[in-house]
Each structure stands twice: as structure tokens, then as C-alpha cells.
């Protein structure tokens, strides 16, 4: 009696479960982002009146959370199921989309360096548009306040940019108590203060400009960003490299798994 041994190719369990482990984290993170986004919308009553989405004139941070969560969830799902079911279609979709995102990131980085003045102008216009919509959305309001507090800045280029907002504008005949003021996040605070004075910016811009330095930040947030970037280029570069490496690892695992599956099918 003769026994024959067939050397059939097998899918590597190592790559298969590495791929699954890599993606389950992103799948769960995507689900968490989506849940957080819908929770934020429910708190604002958007889910009860979806027309509110179209009425917002500024940037709603919830959209960013939902888009990032949605893309992450779909990619995580494709990677997990593709690895467990050895589905070439899902694995190719996963590696293709990751590769496309990587190319978009590189393109955006190159364009930002080449067209610095246009990017600066676009960011300035974007910031001013959101200053105008500051009171329209609580999440946008919190985002701008956090940005101004962390960077010790006020407005896009200067505190007078808050004239773009109807509540803070010095122009017109409106009777807003915040007229000719700035949000509390522009105020220079004492670290010893345990309670935030939300009225500290009232009437500040009615005073002479030379007196502003005592009460509020006079540097614009665009200028603050430009000052911050040169001293933190290494940090930005490290973050970009880490994200790129994670993407490359995902593509490598997916392509290796696809290659193993195709060998088994021969």
C-alpha cells in the first residue's frame, strides 16, 4: 500500500488572526464614534427634527465624528469579516480604500506646503464663517471656545473678528448684552480662579485697544497656529509617520492574506 502526501497551500493563521485583531479595534472604535455622534445629535434634538442639519450655517463637529466613525466602522468590518471568512473581495476593498486614503493624505500634505498662502486664506475664511455661526450650535461653540482657550487666542486674526457675529458685533442697533464684547474663552484667566467668569468679555472692545492686553488675548488663532507649527514640526511629522505606518501594516496584512487565499484556490 502506498501513501501519498499532498503539499497543499494553507492560509496562514498568523496573518489571518493578526488581520482580525488589527481591525476589530477600528471596528469597535468606529461603532463608538457613530454612537457618540448620534448621542450628540439626540441631545441637540436633531434626531427629532432633521431639518436642523440643513439650517446650520457653520461647521457641526458631529458631522466629522460621524464621517470618521462611519469610514472606520466600514473598514473595520471589511477587514474583520474578510479575514475570518477569507473573502478576497472584502480584503481587496479594505486594502484599496486604505491605499486611497493614504494617497489623499500625501496629496493634502504636499498641497498644503506648496500652496501655503491659499491654505492660510481658506482657513481664515473657514474660521470667520464659524465665528458668524458661533451661537447656532452648542458643539461648534464649545469647539471654538476650546481652541481659543488652549491657544490663548481670540478671533481668526484679531479680537475684532467677532464683529462677524451678530451678538458680539459693535455695528448695528441690536441690544445684545454681548455687543462689542468677546466670548469668555478670549479672556485672560487667573489660574487661581475656580469659577469661570462667563461675562468677562462683555464690553471689552468698547475700551481703547491698548487696554485689551490686560483682559483678553489679542493674538488671532490663525497667527497662534502659525507660531505653534514651526516649534512642533517633529511632533506633527511623528504623528503622520505613525498613521502612515498603521495604514501600511493594514495593507500589507490584507495583501499577504489575499495572496495566501489565491494560492489555496489554485
What pLDDT score was predicted for residue 134? 92
| pLDDT averages per 10-residue partition of the chain, 266 residues | 49 84 93 93 75 69 92 94 91 95 93 90 92 89 93 94 92 82 91 80 90 92 90 89 93 91 75
Q: What is the pLDDT of residue 3?
A: 44
Burial of residue 5 (number of CB atoms within 10 Å: 0-12, 13-18, 19+): exposed
Give me the residue label for grid cell 464663517. 129
pLDDT value for 236: 87
130 Cα distance to chain centroid: 15
Cα distances from 105 to residues 102, 125, 235, 240, in angstroms, run 5, 22, 17, 9
Rounded to the nearest 10 degrees, what angle do helices 233-265 and 13-44 cross at? 130
pLDDT of residue 28: 94
pLDDT at site 72 = 95
Alpha-carbon distances of 66 from 63, 72, 101, 148, 250, rounded to whole Å: 5, 10, 17, 24, 22
Q: Identify which of 152, 160, 126 has the alpha carbon closest to the alpha carbon of residue 140.
A: 126
**Which cell numbers hold the place of 62?**
458631529
- Give the three-class secondary structure for 10: coil
Query: What would the pLDDT profile of 46-56 be if each residue is shown by its tens digit?
Result: 776 766 666 66
Whether 148 contacts 183, CB under 8 Å: yes
- Alpha-carbon Rg for the chain in angstroms: 26
187, β-bridge pairs: 216
* Torsion-angle region of 60 (φ positive above 0: left; ψ -120 to 50: alpha; else: beta): beta
Per-residue confidence (pLDDT) for residue 36, from 0 to 100: 93
Stretch (H or E) spanning 83 = helix 61-84
pLDDT at 60 (0 to 100): 80
Give the span between the Cα atoms of 217 and 160, in whole angstroms: 11
Is residue 101 within 8 A of residue 41, CB to CB? The reply is no
In sequence order, the β-bridge partners of residue 216 are: 187
- DSSP-derived secondary structure letter, 163: G
Q: In angstroms, rounded to a whole number, what is the distance separating the alpha carbons of residues 207 and 117?
A: 33
- pLDDT value at residue 56: 65
State how far the alpha carbon of 179 is from the alpha carbons of 104, 170, 194, 204, 208, in Å: 43, 6, 26, 9, 16
What's the pLDDT at 6?
42
Q: For residues 87 and 170, give the distance between their C-alpha atoms in angstroms, rounded to a whole number.
A: 62
Amino acid at each position: 500500500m502506498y501513501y501519498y502526501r499532498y503539499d497543499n497551500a494553507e492560509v496562514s493563521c498568523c496573518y489571518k488572526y493578526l488581520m482580525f485583531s488589527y481591525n476589530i479595534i477600528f471596528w469597535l472604535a468606529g461603532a463608538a464614534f457613530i454612537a457618540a455622534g448620534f448621542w450628540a445629535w439626540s441631545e441637540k434634538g436633531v434626531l427629532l427634527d432633521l431639518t436642523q442639519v440643513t439650517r446650520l450655517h457653520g461647521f457641526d463637529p458631529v458631522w466629522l465624528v460621524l464621517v470618521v466613525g462611519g469610514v472606520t466602522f466600514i473598514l473595520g468590518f471589511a477587514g474583520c469579516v474578510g479575514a475570518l471568512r477569507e473573502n478576497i473581495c472584502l480584503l481587496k476593498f479594505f486594502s484599496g480604500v486604505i491605499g486611497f486614503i493614504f494617497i489623499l493624505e500625501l496629496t493634502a500634505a504636499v498641497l498644503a506646503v506648496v500652496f501655503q498662502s491659499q491654505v492660510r486664506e481658506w482657513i481664515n475664511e473657514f474660521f470667520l464663517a464659524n465665528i458668524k455661526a458661533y451661537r447656532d450650535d452648542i458643539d461648534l461653540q464649545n469647539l471654538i471656545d476650546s481652541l481659543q482657550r488652549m491657544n490663548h487666542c481670540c478671533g481668526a486674526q484679531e479680537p475684532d473678528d467677532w464683529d462677524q457675529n451678530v451678538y458680539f458685533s459693535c455695528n448695528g442697533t441690536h441690544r445684545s448684552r454681548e455687543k462689542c464684547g468677546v466670548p469668555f474663552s478670549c479672556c485672560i484667566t487667573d489660574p487661581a480662579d475656580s469659577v469661570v467668569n462667563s461675562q468677562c468679555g462683555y464690553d471689552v472692545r468698547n475700551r481703547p485697544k491698548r487696554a485689551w492686553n490686560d483682559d483678553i488675548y489679542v493674538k488671532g488663532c490663525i497667527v497662534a497656529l502659525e507660531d505653534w507649527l514651526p516649534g512642533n514640526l517633529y511632533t506633527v511629522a511623528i504623528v503622520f509617520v505613525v498613521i502612515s505606518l498603521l495604514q501600511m501594516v493594514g495593507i500589507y496584512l490584507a495583501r499577504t492574506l489575499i495572496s495566501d487565499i489565491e494560492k489555496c484556490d489554485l
